[in-house]
Amino acid sequence: MTAPVPTTTAADAAQTTGTTTDHHHTVHTLPVAPRRVGGPRHWWDWVLAADPGLGQLQAGWRSAISMVTALAVGYGMAHALGMPAMLGMMVGGMMGLMSAFAVAENTAPRLARAILWMPFPFSAVLPLSAMLRDDRPLELGVMGFGLALTFFLARFGTLYLLTGMMLFNSFLVGMMAGIPLNMCFKAFLVALAACAGVLAARLLLCYPMPREDLLRTQRAFVVEARRVADAAVEALDPDAGRDTAVKRMRRSLRRLNMTTVIIDGRLAQPEVAADPETAESLHRHLFDAELALQGIGQAVQQLTRLRMTPALRETVVIGLVIARGTPLGRAGALRPAAQLIQQEAAAVLAASPAPTTDEAEAAALADRVGVLLDSLAESLARWLALGWDAPSAGARVPFQPTVALEQNRPAGTGAVARRLSAAQNVTGWRRAIPYLRLPLHAGVAVAIVCPIADAIDPSRFYWGPIGVMITLFGTNTTHDRVRKFAHRMAGTVVGAVVGILLLHLIGPGHTYATLAVIVAGLTIGAWGMQRAYAIWVVGLVTALVQLYGLTTPYSGMDHLLFERLIDNGIGIAVATVCAALIFPVSGGRLVREAERGYAAAIEQLISQVAERWKDPEAPVRLRGAARGVDAAMFQIQGVARPLIKMPVGVRGPAGESRLALLTNATAHARALAASADVDIDLPPRLTARMEQITRLLTESLGAIDRRLAAGGAGAGDAPGEWVRIGPLVCDLQAALTAPSGPRADRLHAALRELAALDEAMAGYAEARGLRVTTATAYGRDAGQAPAPVGPTTPSWAKDTADGDARGTRPHGRG
């Protein structure tokens, strides 16, 4: 049995990431973290924590403003042009609906371009819809082609996707409303006026403010940090429920990590950060603050399992209470609390010449909490200082995006599916498969569904194709589609019940109350869409019931909604089957592609660490590379976690084990990024050893990539093996007999994290079927005697006048 590799947690790596302070700052006109971000607690903080950046609330508000404006403009234009009011409101409402859900640009020029473009593709198809009204087979065929075209155009960008959606919706509205040919131009004028009105309303009431979104997300970071402290205090309370508090703390730590990853994603958006150097400083300080909080959480979880002296427990709790209640603007107040904890930890060890194992370990963990509180104070103070002052010297490497966001969350399954489609190594006609897969799914599904839906009810057949469309949009696996089917069915039933109750409550003839319910339903649905698709369906069906009530007798509403449920269900089921049979992308391939992306992110981090140690002036971003590992982990979690429980799937015991190993590796990758950010100057012999360590780790990661590309654990012919580097790291640490100091301690911490990362990835490689071996000492083969290397005091560790300055240089790498 192999002896465990000595490791450090995120705590150890964070404790020396502070830098010296330079008080000669210049005024910064675009604050990144103004004082209000770190203000006292407010009753609305839970909203910011549940919705970082308020993306969901903004979606609801955007929907309300767009729909009210579009309906009002459509009604007014219908009267001005002599059109039926219902027709004008239908056209205007479609513009409002699509602008709310399909256009979410964060700059005014792009917002105007997208919204004002919508009437043109919409109006281009209306004459065709009017001309095909008497030819049912051709009409159904064109509808299928239009939906397939929409999915084809989606490959080329958001504006092309918007064009395809407007073409399909135009054909749908033309059939539903029966717009005659002589009214098509008037409908275009209504659509154009509605879009102009929606644009004006959104610029006035929903102006895109990406910098404000970033600030709200930073406030969510503060809220989650306080929740971590709350849970830590409760976990150390002997009279409280320890298990419940620990679960709360783990949940807050996960949310804290997601929030910081979202902040990195927002920093990549236009007009967010004042400049790349300031963005890099924000990224670096929040990374270090999160690392310290993660370390405190880990230490407290270990403390809950130990017997502590009452005085030490009380001191740690008091320090955490102070941390929890200290306003961010006075982060320096954390330092006395940190010193108090460290002093009590030292007193516990000094009071007993032979402390018990629990007492010694508890004292060490308490001391670590104190060190981390001090590090947290430093990081928070530097972060908040960005609100008013620019750094006297910017980061050496400007910020570069490593995190992609989808719907204000780290990208998940979609990013993996797109990468898999783009990376297929095929020739000939199969190169067209990534472009034709979704259009073929849509076209074949509509060809099957339309005749069935038309036979059920020719006037409402479009519910079937709509079921096809909603199934294929935003889903990448069978699990996704089946879950969407369940949400659609459940949401339709609940929305029908709520809608019918409101319909009877309002009664006939109350137009304004009916419109208010329609707008409210769509607004609530838009707010809840990112939380659960069923919430959107409930709001949508509630709104549609009010719309149907204007033309359908109340007594026939139950039958109408049952038909809608059946048609939607048929469309979803057929689309799911088509996607599973026509050029399918299996869940296993998605999992392997996500894990390949993770291995590539780890390899990028290791190569940057090697470059950082080889050349102190190299333009590397260690923390940015670690954020790339975080982003890759979110993708693995999104793919490997099935949305429904299946008899056979990708999330069995082996999948759980791999996920746990990669989660552990991610924590060590973060700690490595912070601790490895140190200048070193080793003798040639030790430099060769360090280069061998990073080279072997990189080669092992390459072996994982080849194995995953060949098909995972079943690919017996895939070359390569994983070589554990633990013995090489131990040998190198033994040779580094320099006096203790900040830079020496950080290098030792970095080497321990490197060994721990290697151990976690070795376990993952073994789970994936690679042969795992252990490296022999430097300069000898198996069975040879160790090469003699005397104790060395490297030049970087010698006491020099500039030693401390170099060890805590303010230009740390991101």
CATH number of this structure's domain 210-406, picked from the four choices 1.20.1530, 1.20.1080, 1.20.120, 1.10.10:
1.20.120
Whether the model clears a pTM of 0.85, i.e. scores above it, the answer is no
Q: What is the mean pLDDT of the chain?
A: 82
Average pLDDT rounded to a whole number, residues 731-736? 86
pLDDT of residue 411: 85
pLDDT digits (tens, 9 = 90+) for 556-583: 788 888 888 999 999 999 999 999 999 8
CA 431 remoteness from chain centre: 30
Q: Averaged over 711-721, what is the pLDDT?
A: 62
> Residue 388 pLDDT more than 80?
no
> For the structural domain made of 587-807, what CATH number should be given?
1.20.58
The span from the CA of 693 to the CA of 687, in Å, is: 10
List Cα–Cα distances, 697 to 199, 575, 725, in angstroms: 54, 44, 7
Grade residue 681 by pLDDT with cuts at 50, 70 and 90: confident
Q: In angstroms, rounded to a whole number, what is the distance separating the alpha carbons of residues 612 and 75?
A: 64
Pick from 724, 801, 24, 764: which is nearest to 389 by CA? 24
| Dist CA 277 CA 811 (whole Å) | 10
High-pLDDT (> 90) share of the chain, %: 37
Question: Tokens for 341?
Answer: 């904890």
Give the pLDDT band of residue 792 (cuts 50, 70, 90): very low
Residue 68: pLDDT band (50, 70, 90) is very high
Q: Which residue has the higher pLDDT, 598 or 618?
A: 598
SS3 at position 723: strand
Long-range CB contact pairs, 317-321, < 8 A, 24+? 317/233, 317/236, 317/237, 319/369, 319/370, 319/373, 320/229, 320/232, 320/233, 320/236, 320/296, 320/369, 321/229, 321/233
Q: What number is the average pLDDT over the span 205-215? A: 84
pLDDT exceeds 80 at position 13: no
Element (H, E) at 226: helix 210-235
Residues in Cβ contact with 62 at an 8 Å cutoff, skipping those fewer than 6 apart:
100, 104, 202, 206, 526
Tell me the average pLDDT across 632-652: 65
Residue 29 has pLDDT above 90, yes or no: no
What mean pLDDT do residues 627-633 have? 94
* Tens-digit pLDDT profile for residues 643-654: 444 444 445 567
pLDDT tens digit sequence for 745-788: 888 889 999 999 999 999 999 999 899 999 876 554 443 434 44
Q: Identify the band that residue 424 occupies on the pLDDT scale cut at 50, 70 and 90.
A: low
Helices (H), 529-586: 533-549, 557-581
- Least Cα distance to 734 among 757, 752, 722 occurs for 752
- Residue 425 has what pLDDT? 66
Q: Which tens digits make up the pLDDT trace of 342-373?
A: 998 898 888 877 778 888 899 999 999 999 99
Q: What is the pLDDT of residue 135?
A: 85
Instruction: Report residue 158 as tokens.
Output: 């958001």
Instruction: Report the alpha-carbon angle 93-97-99, nearest 5.
Output: 115
Question: CA angle, corner 496, sides to 493 and 498, nearest 5?
Answer: 110
For the stretch 450-480, pLDDT in tens is 999 989 988 888 899 999 999 998 888 888 8
Q: Convert the pLDDT of each residue in 303-326 to its tens digit.
A: 988 888 889 999 999 888 888 877
Confidence class for position 23, pLDDT limits 50, 70, 90 = very low
Half-sphere exposure for 539 (CA within 13 Å, toward CB)? 19
Q: How far is CA 631 from the centre of its chain?
A: 7
Would you kindly state where each structural domain of the chain is located, as residue ranges? 55-208, 210-406, 431-585, 587-807
Instruction: Provide the pLDDT for residue 325.
Output: 79
HEC string of 253-310?
HHHHHHHHHHHHHHHCCCCCCCCHHHHHHHHHHHHHHHHHHHHHHHHHHHHCCCCCCH
Q: What is the band of 551 on the pLDDT scale with cuts at 50, 70, 90?
A: confident
Q: Over the Cα atoms of the chain, what is R_g?
A: 30
Q: Is residue 483's pLDDT more than 70?
A: yes
- Whether 602 and 633 have beta carbons less than 8 Å apart is answered as no
Q: Tokens standing for 218? A: 């930073």
Q: Is the pLDDT score of 394 beyond 70?
A: no
Position 794 confidence tier, pLDDT thresholds 50, 70, 90:
very low
Does position 605 have pLDDT exceeding 80, yes or no? yes
In the structure encoding, which two tokens stand for residue 368, read together? 């670590």
For residue 39, is pLDDT > 80?
Answer: no
